[in-house]
Amino acid sequence: MKLLKTCFSYFLCVCSIIIIAGKNTIIAEEREPSLRYQIWVELDDQDKMLYGKEEIVWMNKSQDAVRDMWFHLYYNAFKNEKSTVIEESKESIKQFGINVKDGEWGWIDVTRIYLADGRGLTPTMEFVTQNKPIHPDDQTVMRVIFPESIMPGGEVHVFIEFQSKIPRTILRSGYYKDSYFIAQWFPKPGVYEEGKGWNCHAYHLNSEFFADFADFTVHISVPEKFVVGASGKQIKAKADKESGKITYTYEQENIHDFAWTANPDFIKIERDFIADEEITKEEYQEVARMLQLPLDDVKLPDVKMILLINPEHKDQIKRHFNALKAAIKYYGLWYGPYPYETVTMVDPPFRTRSGGMEYPTLFTAGTSILNSKEVLSLEGVIIHEFGHGYWYGLCANNEFEEAWLDEGINTYSTGKVIAKAYGQGTIPAYFNRIPMNWFFKFPKYYDYELDRTLGIHVVELDPITTYSWKFFNIVSYGLNVYQRASTCLNTLERLVGPETMLRILRTFQTRFRFRHPHTQDFIGIVNEITGKDYSWFFDELFFKTLNFDYGISSISSKKVKELVRGVFDINGKKEEVTKEKIAKKEAKDKKMKKKPVYLSKVKVRRFGEARVGGESDLKIMVVFEDGSEETVFWKGQERWKEFVFTKPVKAKYAQIDPENIWLIDSNISNNSLKLKPSRKESFRFIYKIIFMFQNSIQFLSALS
């Protein structure tokens, strides 16, 4: 959902567990979580309240003696205008900041917290701020102090009683009428980092979440009219006729969050992803070859697919399941088997503002009543949100501090899956919610083209690796960690080759499943799999704000004159070469049909500050009038370099990066230059500008 807000803001701005036994073997380690949850929650539909009890068992896997515990209380982000989220929204996008209407606030109160032996922790509760105190009145992080430290290898058993006012949906979670999407709703411990303490940031506008893997058992009591969906697998449903409520019990191991939804109008449909029906033997063999893995290592399990869809969208059921099948298939083949039994996709009800968000084994999609089959907006959001189950769900990076490891890698991965399963999408256009694609043909595009169009605009604002809340604004955050990061990864793929890139991502995904990887871990995998040091690539393009722009500065082609006017020493004598002598020589050469020789010069420039590094270089292709080509290479370290060619034919044009490897190049209009520019080239450049604008419009329309 945050992606939608980011892209909308951009439009406004533009217009105004063990690893490798050997290099070719990857083995995922099933890690025992340090957390266990059992939660009981009751929905009060009339007063829009949640009443909950929570039992937490936390094991200290560090070598530290831990004296306290920090909890996220995310619902307090919607408590008042002094919360970090609301203040940052007004600071970042001013008149477009979050505006909560009276009576629609949300909050969470911990009414009691105590240990298994009955000793109370409630008196020790205090609100704290990890990232000092830009917004000191924020109440989204709570700390309690234990009577004694939890020693290494020890456990603490904590009981919590809480109640929450559900907000009218503001960010991701809340209600609209009798439709509920409940996310980030329970007191949730931060992540304890050895030697550092609890990593437990406030709820920021430009960030999603970070938590430890855990085993969940959750009991959800709702009025019997509701259809419920949740993270994990439903194992029980118990009706209470006296209260008119049903309690649904869900379980799931090895996930780091839990979300659920309830709506009386949902149509619930279950289907199976049957691997043997979706994947051919030849496909398995091809993937095994590319990954350099045994065939059995790329085989996929079956998965139970659950769809909760609104009645007005039931004609799109097939599209929903086909997109989910494509996501399970290609993410599974390329990055590793989906490890859970179920996946639930939710078609969010109108005006609930919960579309396009991911949670472990559950995600929200988003569609409209009228749409075109040629426009892949629906498929794109399903594939993207399911894909988060890999890069956010399994490789659980810290979204507060290194959001690109999820958002960027998943944006890249989404584009690869859509291209493989569907090909190019069509630019959408609507008039009064009616798709104009029904009546007119619009240009087609690949996701990487759109990513580049958007991502290059924010290069000089912030590094991709900036902490989420420290970006210049929400636009810089979104376009850097999504589109710019994806564009850099597509560039990396073109440098190392698609099969090597696939092995990089497969190794990263498998090695860091059920763990918390960092950017340096990813760089280490890149260097390991390629056998080369690509640290420079990340230094230049991820950690800095350097514009990457190489181009052709000038091209010339002049005939080499054998004679030129003047006085020359010839055989010990002074001899003057006159116009008459030159004319006679040229006439004689013409009569003998002697071909002239041309000296062609091509000057290339580094217009930006970012530089190519390592063993990489830039290819420069010069095409001559007879169709012949000359290719030279430039390391690109200097500001400019001149290449000289002597041939019996004039140069026609020069092009730098003819294979379009460097997608991150911010100005491709200067990548080629003709000796004699034509009007046709001017029109081509204008078309590129129009296409970039259309791409921006399309991106926003596709997500509406």
Question: What is the average per-residue pLDDT within 250-262?
Answer: 98
The predicted structure's pLDDT at residue 686: 55
Instruction: Judge whether 96 and 12 are in contact, CB under 8 Å.
Output: yes
Non-local (6+) Cβ contacts of 431 within 8 A are none
Identify the residue with better confidence: 375 or 645. 645
In a domain? residue 411: yes
Query: What confidence tier does 59 reach under pLDDT thresholds 50, 70, 90?
Result: very high
Residue 170 pLDDT level (bands cut at 50, 70, 90): confident
Domain count, the chain: 3
Q: Residue 479 phi/psi, 5° resolution?
A: -75, -25
Average of pLDDT values for 217-227? 98
pLDDT at 318 over 90: yes
Which of helix, strand or coil describes residue 446? coil
Q: How far apart are CA 691 and CA 676, in angstroms?
A: 25
Helix axes 679-702, 377-391, angle to 10 degrees: 70
Q: For residue 639, what pLDDT is reported? A: 97
What percent of the chain has pLDDT above 90? 77
End-to-end CA distance of the chain: 11
pLDDT given for residue 94 in this prediction? 58
Per-residue pLDDT reduced to its tens digit, 515-556:
999 999 999 999 999 999 999 999 999 999 999 999 999 999
State which H helix or E strand residue 484 sits in.
none
CATH of the domain at 391: 1.10.390.10
Comparing 75-79, 198-202, 566-570, the range with the smallest average pLDDT is 566-570
pLDDT value at residue 98:
83
Stretch 384-413: mean pLDDT: 97
Mean pLDDT of 383-402: 97
Mean pLDDT over all residues of the chain? 90
Considering the entire predicted model, what is its pTM? 0.89
Query: What average pLDDT score do residues 676-702 get?
Result: 53
Write out the residue range of the structural domain in which residue 477 sits.
265-542
Average confidence (pLDDT) over 155-166: 98
Q: Based on the domain organization, do 236 and 295 belong to the same domain?
A: no
**Cα 604 vs. chain centroid, distance in angstroms?**
33
Average pLDDT over residues 591-604: 88
Check whether 251 has a pLDDT greater than 80.
yes
71 and 58 housed in the same domain:
yes
User: Would you say residue 580 has pLDDT above 90?
Assistant: no
Q: Residue 15's pLDDT is what?
A: 37
Instruction: Please name the residues in contact with 24: beta carbons below 8 A apart, sequence gap of 6 or more.
Output: 292, 293
Q: 378 and 288, same structural domain?
A: yes
Pair (435, 359) in one structural domain: yes
3-state DSSP helix/strand/coil percent for the chain, to nearest 5? 30, 30, 40
Q: What is the 3-state secondary structure (H, E, C) of 530-588?
A: HCCCCHHHHHHHCCCCCCCCEEEEEEEEEECCCCCCEEEEECCEEEEECHHHHHHHHHH
Q: Give yes or no: residues 217 and 336 share one domain.
A: no
Last residue of a domain, one of 262, 292, 316: 262
Domain annotation covers residue 14 = no
Query: Residue 574 pLDDT > 90, yes or no?
Result: no
Q: Does residue 329 sit in the same domain as residue 462?
A: yes
Q: Are 202 and 275 contained in the same domain?
A: no
Query: Which contiguous run of DSSP H or E holds residue 389?
Result: helix 377-391
Same domain, 176 and 221: yes
Pull the structure tokens for residue 381. 């959001």
* Beta-sheet pairing, 35-44 with 214-223: parallel
Taking only the tens place, the pLDDT of each residue in 521-530 is: 999 999 999 9
* Position 234 pLDDT exceeds 70: yes
Residue 26 has pLDDT above 60, yes or no: no
Q: What pLDDT is recorded for position 678?
A: 54
Of 542, 566, 589, the residue that ends a domain is 542
Q: Worst-scoring range by mean pLDDT, 186-195, 263-272, 344-353?
A: 344-353
Residue 629 maps to which CATH number? 2.60.40
Q: How would residue 13 be classed by pLDDT, with cut points 50, 70 and 90?
A: very low
Classify residue 631: in a domain, yes or no.
Answer: yes
CA-wise closest residue to 28 among 16, 37, 20, 40: 20
Residue 5, pLDDT > 70, answer no
What pLDDT is stored for residue 586 in this prediction? 79
Query: Is residue 634 domain-resident?
Result: yes
Both 236 and 322 in a single domain? no
Kindly state whether residues 223 and 176 are assigned to the same domain. yes
In CATH, what number is assigned to the domain containing residue 182? 2.60.40.1730
Band of residue 661 on the pLDDT scale cut at 50, 70, 90: very high
Closest CA to 551 of 490, 633, 449, 640: 640
Q: How would residue 296 be classed by pLDDT, with cut points 50, 70 and 90?
A: very high
Whole-number pLDDT of residue 184: 96
DSSP structural state of residue 258:
-
Q: Count other Cβ atoms within 10 Å, centred on residue 50.
A: 21
- The whole-angstrom separation of Cα 614 and Cα 620 is 18
Task: Give the pLDDT score at 683.
Answer: 52
Instruction: Say whether both 207 and 311 belong to one domain.
Output: no
pLDDT band at 437 (very low <50, low <70, confident <90, very high): confident
State the number of CA atoms in the 13 A half-sphere of 383 facing the CB: 29
State residue 95's pLDDT score.
Answer: 52
Three-state DSSP class for 424? coil
Q: Are 303 and 220 within one domain? A: no
Q: 521, 542, 563 — which closes off a domain?
A: 542
Q: Is the pLDDT reported for residue 684 higher than 60?
A: no
Question: Which residue from 241, 392, 257, 258 is spatially nearest to 249, judged by alpha carbons?
Answer: 258
Confidence band for 692, pLDDT divided at 50, 70 and 90: low
Token match 């919360």: residue? 83
75 inside domain:
yes
Structure tokens at 412: 């890249």
